[in-house]
């Protein structure tokens, strides 16, 4: 039987199901926030288990050659005798929790359901709570799985603390906002929970990691590099579900809170962090405050982020560089302006490419997100996207449009007959060969076109990486031969 007042928080396996030699070498921020809040505000024993991490595996590397490892992934979803699931079983059995909390995205929801099943087989009295983006997106549908007892929608920190108090005291869940739960044969949906206004009141996610994270000593320092400065995204992209989770109203952490967390990470030995916000800073004023604080309080820091193209100008990027920024991601998605309007990106191709040029000219690494296969794509729009990819002086991040349940895009695809009632969410993700949700293209034609795009992206990224490596080797040799560093900038530009 389970030990009293013990909760096991789990990140489900996904990368490891594709390729056993690779894993998600990150401390999941969502579980870090939940575990820290539980430690801070309750007397529950909490453990975080990232089931997508293996100490023996190397960090997961995304390949843009769609389909690599996909059959292995499907096999692992069917065959629960594999090493990943045996590890899940043994971890649950050894932990003997009262409660299991699973953080689920749509792409690993099937994996989450398997964990719930295994938990109930080990001890039917374990209460299984599902949170994360998928729960916020689909509502009652989560509880179609009989092994899931409670679904948490929206931010989970306050909700989970109240749930644990009710469990400990033997109370029902009727007064807990932000949850759906099973009461006999009935599913009860409580009112939504208000968002946390003071984000500075939350713990630092890494703060309790040494005490709560399974295999903490096996993680590299870089696994703790992610940080949030905001919650919420004001944009309204057609395909995105962020507003279902955080809302479109942006809440900001203070610059002092952000720099304090980063100083704490620096004391852990991290020299490079990444802002995991949907879009960094959202507005220039907040970015200014963050950068000023980093310059004053976090010397030697290097960091990266994702920024909206419309915010980019030379002065802002120069300030970010001065504050330690070395890499910036920009979401472009399509190379066709009409398609950008349809998906409500609020940018033009010309503005986006100009933004990447500004970032590159300031000496920062640039990565550009592109997504192909939107419902109204044509061969012409896909061709325009490939042309735009060729104009980016940086790394390309490629994905295939995926209509996640609960998004406007999913509803649109249903209305157009691109999705039927048998939609299996486990089959579709941004690198799935099953993805094709285009009104104007057959799956066969779509696969023919995007396969060429995938080869282009893969080769281009590898060629850039090779050129940069050769550049650094030649620079090292040049310095050794000449004993000086003058003209290196000119030398690098000539090599490239």
Mean pLDDT of the chain: 91
How is residue 378 written in tokens?
């044509």
pLDDT over 80 (residue 481): no
Residues of the chain with CATH 3.20.20.70: 225-468
Alpha carbon 42 to its chain's center: 28
Q: Does the structural domain 225-468 have CATH classification 3.20.20.70?
A: yes
Bridge partner residues of 100 (DSSP): 8, 128
Calculate mean pLDDT across residues 200-214: 96
Specify the pLDDT at position 245.
84
* 276-296 as b/e: b if 16+ CB within 10 A: bbbbbbbeeebbbbbbebbee
Specify the pLDDT at position 475.
45
Q: How far apart are the first and last CA of the chain?
A: 64
pLDDT tens-place string over residues 40-63: 999 999 999 999 999 887 776 666
The neighbour count for residue 191, using CB atoms within 10 Å, is 10
pLDDT tens-place string over residues 273-306: 999 998 887 899 999 999 999 999 999 999 999 9
Q: Which CATH superfamily is domain 6-189 in?
A: Response regulator (3.40.50.2300)
Q: Residue 471's pLDDT band (boundaries 50, 70, 90)?
A: low
The 3-state DSSP class for residue 276 equals: coil
Q: What pTM was computed for the model? A: 0.91
pLDDT over 90 (residue 189): yes
Specify the pLDDT at position 1.
39
Specify the pLDDT at position 463.
87
Residues of the chain with CATH 3.40.50.2300: 6-189
- With beta carbons less than 8 A apart as the criterion, state whether 304 and 328 touch: yes
Specify the pLDDT at position 477.
52
- With beta carbons less than 8 A apart as the criterion, state whether 223 and 25 touch: yes
Specify the pLDDT at position 352.
97
Q: Residue 484's pLDDT band (boundaries 50, 70, 90)?
A: very low
Specify the pLDDT at position 466.
79
pLDDT tens-place string over residues 106-118: 999 999 999 999 9
Beta pairing class for 230-231 and 251-252 = antiparallel
Helix runs in 123-193, H state only: 133-138, 157-169
Bridge partner residues of 273 (DSSP): 303
Specify the pLDDT at position 183.
87
pLDDT tens-place string over residues 232-281: 988 989 998 888 888 889 999 999 999 999 999 999 999 999 999 988 87
| φ, ψ (nearest 5 deg) of residue 369 | -85, 130
Query: What separation in angstroms does the CA of 450 have from each of 137, 333, 456, 464?
Result: 28, 14, 10, 21
5: left (phi over 0), alpha (psi -120 to 50) or beta: left
What is the spatial distance between Cα 13 and Cα 16, in angstroms, rounded to a whole number? 6
55 vs 193: which has the higher pLDDT: 193
């Amino acid at each position: 039987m389970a030990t009293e007042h013990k909760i096991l928080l789990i990140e489900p396996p996904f990368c490891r199901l594709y390729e056993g030699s690779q894993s998600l070498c990150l401390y999941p921020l969502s579980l870090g926030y939940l575990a820290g809040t539980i430690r801070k505000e309750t007397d529950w024993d909490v453990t975080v288990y990232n089931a997508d991490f293996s100490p023996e595996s190397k960090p997961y590397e995304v390949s843009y050659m769609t389909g690599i490892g996909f059959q292995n992934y499907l096999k692992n979803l069917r065959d629960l005798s594999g090493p990943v699931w045996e590890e899940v079983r043994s971890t649950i059995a050894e932990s003997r929790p009262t409660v299991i909390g699973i953080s689920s995205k749509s792409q690993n929801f099937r994996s989450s359901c398997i964990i719930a099943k295994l938990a109930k087989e080990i001890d039917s009295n374990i209460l299984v709570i599902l949170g994360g983006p998928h729960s916020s997106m689909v509502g009652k549908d989560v509880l179609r799985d009989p092994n899931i007892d409670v679904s948490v929608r929206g931010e989970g920190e306050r909700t989970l603390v109240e749930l644990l108090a009710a469990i400990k005291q033997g109370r029902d869940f009727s007064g807990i906002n932000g949850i759906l739960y099973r009461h006999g044969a009935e599913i009860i949906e409580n009112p939504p929970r208000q968002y946390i206004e003071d984000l500075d009141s939350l713990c630092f996610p890494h703060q309790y990691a040494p005490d709560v994270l399974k295999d903490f000593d096996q993680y590299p320092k870089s696994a703790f590099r992610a940080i949030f400065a905001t919650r919420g995204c004001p944009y309204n992209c057609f395909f995105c579900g962020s507003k279902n989770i955080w809302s479109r109203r942006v809440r900001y952490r203070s610059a002092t809170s952000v720099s304090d967390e980063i100083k704490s990470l620096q004391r852990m030995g991290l020299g490079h962090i990444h802002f995991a916000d949907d879009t960094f800073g959202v507005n220039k004023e907040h970015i200014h405050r963050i950068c000023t604080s980093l310059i004053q309080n976090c010397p030697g820091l290097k960091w990266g982020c994702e920024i909206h193209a419309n915010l980019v100008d030379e002065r802002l990027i120069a300030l970010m560089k001065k504050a330690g920024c070395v890499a910036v991601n920009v979401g472009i998605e399509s190379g066709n302006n009409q398609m950008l309007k349809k998906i409500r990106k609020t940018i033009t191709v010309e503005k986006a490419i100009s933004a990447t040029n500004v970032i590159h000219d300031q000496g920062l690494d640039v990565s550009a997100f592109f997504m192909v296969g939107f419902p109204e794509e044509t061969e012409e729009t896909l061709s325009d996207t490939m042309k735009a990819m060729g104009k980016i002086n940086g790394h390309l991040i490629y994905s295939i449009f995926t209509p996640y349940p609960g998004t406007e895009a999913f509803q649109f695809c249903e209305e157009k007959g691109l999705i039927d009632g048998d939609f299996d969410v486990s089959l579709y993700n941004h690198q799935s060969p099953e993805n094709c949700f285009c009104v104007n293209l057959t799956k066969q034609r779509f696969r023919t076109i995007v396969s060429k795009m995938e080869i282009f992206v893969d080769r281009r990224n590898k060629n850039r990486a090779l050129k940069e490596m050769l550049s650094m080797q030649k620079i090292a040799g040049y310095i050794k031969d000449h004993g000086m560093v003058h003209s290196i900038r000119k030398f690098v530009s000539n090599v490239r």
